[in-house]
Amino acid sequence: MAEPLLAVAGVTKDYGTAIVTRALRGIDFSVEPGEFLALTGPSGSGKSTLLNLIGLLDRPTSGRIAIRGTDTGSLDADGLARFRGRTIGFVFQFHHLLPAFSATENVLMPAFADLGRITEPMRARAESLLRSVGLGDRLDRKPSELSGGQQQRVAIARALMMEPALLLADEPTGNLDQESGEQVFQLLRRLNAEEGVTCAIVTHDDRLAVRCDRNIHLVDGLVDRDQRTPQPA
Ligand SMILES: Nc1ncnc2c1ncn2[C@@H]1O[C@H](COP(=O)(O)OP(=O)(O)OP(=O)(O)O)[C@@H](O)[C@H]1O
Ligand SMILES: [Mg+2]
């Protein structure tokens, strides 16, 4: 059998030293290429903590996270940052776009961070990504000149710039009205269906979770349920 895209084994996470919060208490699951999964659970159950660990923004207290067969615990800080930049796309609840830069320049930022320069093919890719998220007519706009939903779509295009193996999104629609949220969700579904982008999204919204193919539900730092979601034919 092919190795999973992501393997999480025995992962725990403690925060703090004097007063320790055990945010994750032993998480095990794996994700195959092309999956579209929802991470759900009550506030404080550990969803963002888990996403940050999978996204290599932080390291587990114990346990292993392997991505495409690479044991990420074996990488030093520089190696981890480089691996993250080339493997993971991250979309946050708040888009974290750079206000002084245009949509295209924001999308180019991960490539610039990786290579220290921008080439013409990169610029073409950034513009093509913006067109694919429906912003072909907004390439030169600053974030402040875009709506919340449009900003989030720029953030998704940015997350896809380096062709990540895994797209992670922490409440990508949490800060949007219903219609913009729906557009962003449909965009993620389309990228998954058409481009095969593997997605894991944290959501509070059960109606969104049932529209993902799989739902991992956390309670109190543990996987409470991990189930396939029956999709209408
Ligand atoms: N930087 C931190 N320092 C200390 N404790 C933290 C830190 N980040 C999170 N925690 C604690 O870890 C636990 C899990 O937090 P986490 O943010 O992962 O929850 P969550 O499921 O994402 O919640 P929400 O739905 O409210 O976003 C909580 O008890 C939280 O208080
Ligand atoms: Mg959270």
Domain at 118, CATH number: 3.40.50.300
Q: Are strands 222-228 and 62-67 parallel, antiparallel or unpaired?
A: unpaired
Q: For ligand 1, atom 7, which residue shows the shortest CA distance? A: 15
Could you tell me if the CB of 33 is within 6 A of ligand 1? no
Q: Which residue has the higher pLDDT, 59 or 132?
A: 59
Cα(151)–Cα(46) distance, rounded to whole angstroms? 26
The distance from CA 30 to its chain's CA centroid, rounded to whole angstroms, is 16
Whether pLDDT at 155 is above 70: yes
Our count of domains for the chain comes to 1
User: Is residue 1 situated within a structural domain?
Assistant: no
Q: Is 18 in the pocket of ligand 1 (CB under 6 A)?
A: no
50 within some domain: yes
Reported as a pLDDT band with limits 50, 70 and 90, residue 48 is very high
Q: Which amino acid is at 15?
A: Y
- Regarding the beta carbon of 85 and ligand 1, being less than 6 Å apart is answered no
Domain membership flag for residue 233: no
What mean pLDDT is predicted for residues 15-22? 94
- Does a structural domain hold residue 96? yes
Count how many residues are written for the chain: 233
| CA-nearest residue, atom 16 of ligand 1 | 46
From the CA of 115, how far away is ligand 2's center (Å)? 31
Q: Considering the domain boundaries, does residue 62 fall inside one?
A: yes
Going from the Cα of 52 to the center of ligand 2, the distance in angstroms, rounded, reads 10
Is pLDDT at 1 greater than 70 in this prediction? no
Which residue range forms the structural domain that includes residue 54?
6-228
Ligand 1 atom with the smallest distance to the CA of 46 is: 18
